[in-house]
Amino acid sequence: MQIMVRIAAINYLNTIPFIYGLETRMAPSEIVLDCCIPSATAARLKDGRCDVGLVPVGALSELDNPQIIADYCIGATGPVASVLLCSGKPLEQVDEILLDTDSRTSVLLTQYLCAEKWHISPRLTSCDFSREAIDTERCCLLIGDKALANAGRFRHVYDMAEEWISFKHLPFVFACWVATRPLDPSFIEKFNQALAFGISHVNEAVSKYNHQFPRDYACRYLQENISFALDSEKRAGLTEFRRVALEKLTPRACVS
């Protein structure tokens, strides 16, 4: 008897190609798909509410025996455009950063760059930007669609993927597909084929699903800013980020 696999994806524009591929190439009897914010995918895996999740890499250490099962990810080899530090004043003048905590990866990346690249020690404060107005005079870490929609309102914008790449000379991986229980190899193969199909049909995916962005803008973002292949260079970047996150950031309790 075939067991339905429960999948948690992310409800951002950058995941639309994946969702399109899964819904187009996999049968309703094979999967049930749930879309949520990045931090919730890790929580669903952790408590057993799903079997596979598109998980922020910063949350991998919170899971028991996480296994990366896909050759695809949410990554960047240049500016990502959707993970941004947006500020009303230059970084050297910033004394507080309001953090969008939808993704632990981006929070850890901010901490790391503040300490190791920019050499600043601002107060880091969690903020729910879905409930609170975005103040363009302050410094805000914005993630996903919120970053895409609001970057143009700020005087100073720092692309977090670009900042990492210029510092470490490695690509960055924000999220990858993870399972916490064994899956049939035939399912994993079909799952990967579905993801690949979605990535190769970005225009159709953008046209199918509702989002707040002009179609040409959305297609350009997905084709030029997001790098989906989890290749050897990205795996090296992922390994390096997990190393520095564990070694340099875990002991610090700096988010209020």
Can you tell me the distance from the alpha carbon of 87 to that of 97, in angstroms, rounded to the nearest whole number? 9
Which residue in 22, 20, 58 sits closest to 39, CA to CA? Answer: 58
Decide if pLDDT at 253 tops 90: no
What is the percent of the chain with per-residue pLDDT over 70, rounded to a whole number? 96
For all residues of the chain together, what is the average pLDDT? Answer: 92
Decide if pLDDT at 249 tops 80: no
pLDDT tens, residue by residue, 199-211 = 999 999 999 998 9
Decide if pLDDT at 250 tops 60: no
Query: Mean pLDDT across the stretch 5-29?
Result: 94
**Strands across the sheet containing 156-159:** 123-127, 96-100, 139-143, 83-87, 156-159
pLDDT band at 248 (very low <50, low <70, confident <90, very high): low
pTM equals: 0.92
Can you tell me the distance from the alpha carbon of 203 to that of 231, in angstroms, rounded to the nearest whole number? 23
The domains of the chain, with CATH numbers, are 5-74+173-232 (3.40.190.10), 83-168 (3.40.190.10)
Position 131 scores a pLDDT of 83
Amino acid making up residue 7: I
> Any alpha helices (H) in the chain, and if so which ranges?
16-25, 38-46, 104-113, 145-150, 160-168, 185-199, 202-208, 215-224, 232-244
pLDDT band at 39 (very low <50, low <70, confident <90, very high): confident
What is the percent of the chain with per-residue pLDDT over 90, rounded to a whole number? 81
Do residues 70 and 170 touch, judged by C-beta distance below 8 A? no
pLDDT band at 138 (very low <50, low <70, confident <90, very high): very high
CB neighbours of 216 closer than 8 A, spacing ≥ 6? none
| Higher pLDDT, residue 193 or 247 | 193
Rounded to an integer, what is the distance from CA 256 to the centroid of its chain? Answer: 22
pLDDT tens, residue by residue, 57-86 = 988 988 888 999 999 999 999 999 999 999
Can you tell me the distance from the alpha carbon of 64 to that of 5, in angstroms, rounded to the nearest whole number? 18
Can you tell me the distance from the alpha carbon of 111 to that of 125, in angstroms, rounded to the nearest whole number? 11
Which tokens belong to 168? 């470490």
pLDDT tens, residue by residue, 119-130 = 999 999 999 888
Which tokens belong to 231? 């290749």
Query: Mean pLDDT across the stretch 121-143?
Result: 92
Map residue 143 onto helix, strand or coil.
Answer: strand
